[in-house]
Structure formats: C-alpha cells, structure tokens
Amino acid sequence: MAVPGRRVPDNAPHGLAESELFAVDAYLREFESAVSEVDAEQGRVALRRTAFFPGGGGQPFDIGTLEWADGSSEVTAPVTKVGRDRETGRIWHWLEGGHVPGPDAEVSGVLDWDRRHLTMRTHTALHILCGVIWSEFGLAVTGGNMDPGKGRLDFPFESMSTELGQQVERRINEEIDAAREILVDFVGREVADEDAALIRTSANLIPREIDPLRVIDIVGLDKQADGGTHVRTTGEVGRIRVTKTESKGKGNKRIRLEIVDA
Ligand SMILES: [Zn+2]
C-alpha cells in the first residue's frame, strides 16, 4: 500500500518507477534524463525517463521545457505536446521550433507546474464527483473530459435539475473539507477482481495483460483504476463549483464543475 507523501509507492512496478516518473510521483516537476530516440523530422524526442504526463483518461498532456547543452551553449526548448505512441508505448515530446537535442544528449525537463498542479486538483475533483454520485445515487460514470481548472462527467440519471447540481456541489465540498487521504496503489488482477469498488468502476474492462493495475484510492470514497496524476488529499483540491447540469439525451446527464480559484 502506498503511503501519502512518499515519493515512490513500495509496490510500484520497477520499470514504471524508472521510466514513467509521473506514474509514481505526481509531485515531481523537474528531472534529468538521457535521450532515447530523436525524430528530427517531426521535431520530437523520446527520453529514458520522463515526468511529462502524455495524456490519457481525459487528463490533458503536460507542457513545459527541455534544456540541454549544444556545444558550449545551453538550449531551452518549449515542450508543446506530449503523447504516447499507441503501438510502441513510447512517449514523445514535441519541441517548439523543431530544435531537437542530439541522440547522446542529457536533458533537463521542467514541467509547467502551475498548469499540472491545477490539472491534478481538477482530476481529483472529478473522482470525488464519481464517489459522491455513487454513494448518493448508486450511479457509475459513463464518460467525461477535463481541462486544467474545469471538467465534466456524464452519469445515467433519468432526470437532472439545478437543485440536484447544488446538492452535488455541497457534497463534493464536504468531501474536500474532510481532507481524505489519496493513495496511489498497484493492485494485482486477482486481487482487483475481488474488490467491490474496482468492480463497480469497471476495472475488469481493462485488458488482462495490464497487471498490476494502477489504482487511485480516495480512502473511503472512491477507488478506480487510473493512469493520471492526483493531489495527496481532497483538501488540496480547494473549493469547487458545479457550473452547469445538462441533459445529453435519455438516461444521460452531464455535470460540469470548476475549481473556484483557478
Ligand atoms: Zn481519473
């Protein structure tokens, strides 16, 4: 079991802890790495290890900068996009202006931390929303998306009202005030298959070869398989506001929220 505030969960798969740094330490905002592959034509590089989240599960990719020495001069290039190659699993970092380091370069990566941290608060707020809707109404999320500071989720409500939106907003802010611990855990498939919380959040739909599952556990409220980055306690989310409730058709209602001080 992970321990809050600890950099790397004890049971993190070794390869992940060595390469996909965001998966084991959401608070890492600077790192050093060797370049593992250069694609000069597309102005992008892959790194041995990275703290840049490549996007996924509704969470946007990170931006920031890479720095490296080019002869006697230091180059700083904005990272404008990060994405995972579906076939190879490789994480590419696109660099502004097509400046790329050489294949043997050592680079320093720096995240746009304000944007990433706001995204973490937003992502966690959406998991709190999932937990609240499940505990109050027994409904599971069917879809969603987020930007830094705001997001939306869909639930199979028959009807939706402004009052319901206000009730949900109040319940989310209560869970934020409760400052619940949030753990990053890695759970073997056999254990996950027996876990009621993971069953109701459809962890069984994830391909079997992914084992263990990375799990985000808002202790006592919501637990789901998730690749994204989250804050350490619900208190770190700050205040949220439900900005809109809308019908997207029969049995499909959308709730939008935002971080108030974003
Ligand atoms: Zn998530």
Query: Which of 7-21, 121-135, 207-221, 226-240 has the weakest average pLDDT?
Result: 7-21
Per-residue pLDDT band for 6 (boundaries 50, 70, 90) equals low
What sign for the dihedral angle of Cα 47, 56, 134, 149? Answer: positive
More reliable by pLDDT, 6 or 125: 125
Q: For all residues of the chain together, what is the average pLDDT? A: 94
pTM to 2 decimal places: 0.95
The whole-number average pLDDT for the span 177-198 is 94
In tens, the pLDDT along 94-109 reads 999 888 999 989 999 9
Place of tokens 């997207």: 248
Strand partners, 46: 37, 92
Per-residue pLDDT band for 2 (boundaries 50, 70, 90) equals low
Ligand 1 centroid to residue 17 C-alpha, Å: 20
Query: Which of 116-120, 198-202, 213-217, 218-222 has the weakest average pLDDT?
Result: 198-202
To 10 degrees, the CA torsion angle through 25, 27, 32, 34? 40
Ligand 1 centroid to residue 57 C-alpha, Å: 6
Ligand 1 centroid to residue 257 C-alpha, Å: 15
The whole-number average pLDDT for the span 229-237 is 97
Ligand 1 centroid to residue 151 C-alpha, Å: 11
Per-residue pLDDT band for 3 (boundaries 50, 70, 90) equals low
Tally Cβ neighbours within 10 Å of residue 50: 27
Ligand 1 centroid to residue 168 C-alpha, Å: 18
Ligand 1 centroid to residue 140 C-alpha, Å: 13
DSSP conformational letter for 102: -
Can you tell me the distance from the alpha carbon of 149 to that of 169, in angstroms, rounded to the nearest whole number? 15
Can you tell me the distance from the alpha carbon of 159 to that of 34, in angstroms, rounded to the nearest whole number? 53
Q: What is the pLDDT of residue 157?
A: 95
Ligand 1 centroid to residue 164 C-alpha, Å: 23
Q: What is the pLDDT of residue 205?
A: 85
The whole-number average pLDDT for the span 136-148 is 95
DSSP conformational letter for 90: P
E-strand spans in 15-172? 30-39, 44-47, 64-70, 73-84, 91-95, 106-111, 143-147, 150-155
59: pLDDT strictly greater than 80: yes
Ligand 1 centroid to residue 31 C-alpha, Å: 24
Per-residue pLDDT band for 199 (boundaries 50, 70, 90) equals confident
